[in-house]
Amino acid sequence: MTRVLVVDDELTILDSVRFTLEREGFEVLSARDGVTALELAREQSPDIIVLDVLLPGLSGREVCRQLRAESDVPILMLSARSSEVDRVLGLELGADDYVTKPFSLAELVSRVRALVRRRDLDRTRRTVLIAGDVEVDVTRHEAQVGGKRVHLTPSEFRLLALLATDPGRAFSREELAKHLWESEYTGGDRAVDAHMVNLRRKLERGAGPPRRLLTVRGVGYTLAAV
């Protein structure tokens, strides 16, 4: 059974999300503050986390930042703010998806299922993709650069795996977004750019112009073939 950790300080939202997810067959853990959320995430190893941005004690963004330093668990952020800047900030911290309040429970369940499906597909595919000194093991959900493993979030890994299927090809932002969210919903170009900034930082590992993950002006991104 898929285990979901739901974190929100608003009891009505917490109860309704928990009830809906349990009715859909998920096992649900819950927390109302950031400190408790971190403890549960570390002790119970949930399969996915639904995380509110504004929490007492420790903000959702800080919880996300700390978890990303030690785990690749899929994280879906919740926020009452709907501006693109807020969405991008959450994605830059390593969140995999973003839902703004008020939201429909049906939409939330759909987003949770999509993240779980992406995780499961990435784990079951039996493929190793190579582009220069970048190696993507889709079976083990691992990536290496120059023989050294790099820690990627689920969304970063998914984007890298797509780029590695055809090194040297320029993928448009629209292609990357549709692949990431598995729908016509794209989250905007800046959402893709936010993931790419994080991914490039991990692949390049140093100052100077990038030589692995390259921007194709007016199009999108490509992974260098050599």
> Given this model, what pLDDT does residue 135 score?
92
Q: Check whether residue 152 and residue 68 sit in a common domain.
A: no
Q: Report the CATH number at residue 158.
A: 1.10.10.10
CA–CA dist 108, 98 (Å, integer)? 10
Q: Check whether residue 139 and residue 191 sit in a common domain.
A: yes
Q: What's the domain range around 116?
A: 3-121
pLDDT tens digits, 114-127: 888 877 776 665 57
Q: Check whether residue 106 and residue 159 sit in a common domain.
A: no
The answer to whether the peptide bond before residue 46 is cis (omega within 30 degrees of 0) is: no
Residue 106 has pLDDT above 60, yes or no: yes
Q: Using an 8 Å Cβ cutoff, are 194 and 88 in contact?
A: yes
Residue that terminates a domain, selected from 104, 121, 138: 121
Q: Check whether residue 116 and residue 175 sit in a common domain.
A: no
Residue that terminates a domain, selected from 121, 146, 167: 121
For the chain, count helices (H), then strands (E). Answer: 8, 12
pLDDT tens digits, 38-58: 999 999 999 999 999 989 989
Q: How far is CA 55 from CA 16, 166, 214, in A?
A: 18, 42, 37
Q: Check whether residue 150 and residue 116 sit in a common domain.
A: no
Residue that terminates a domain, selected from 121, 154, 174: 121
CA–CA–CA angle 50, 52, 53 (5° rounding):
135
Closest CA to 6 of 75, 69, 90, 70: 75
pTM for this structure? 0.63
Residue 96 has pLDDT above 60, yes or no: yes
Number of domains into which the chain is organized: 2
CA–CA dist 17, 14 (Å, integer)? 5
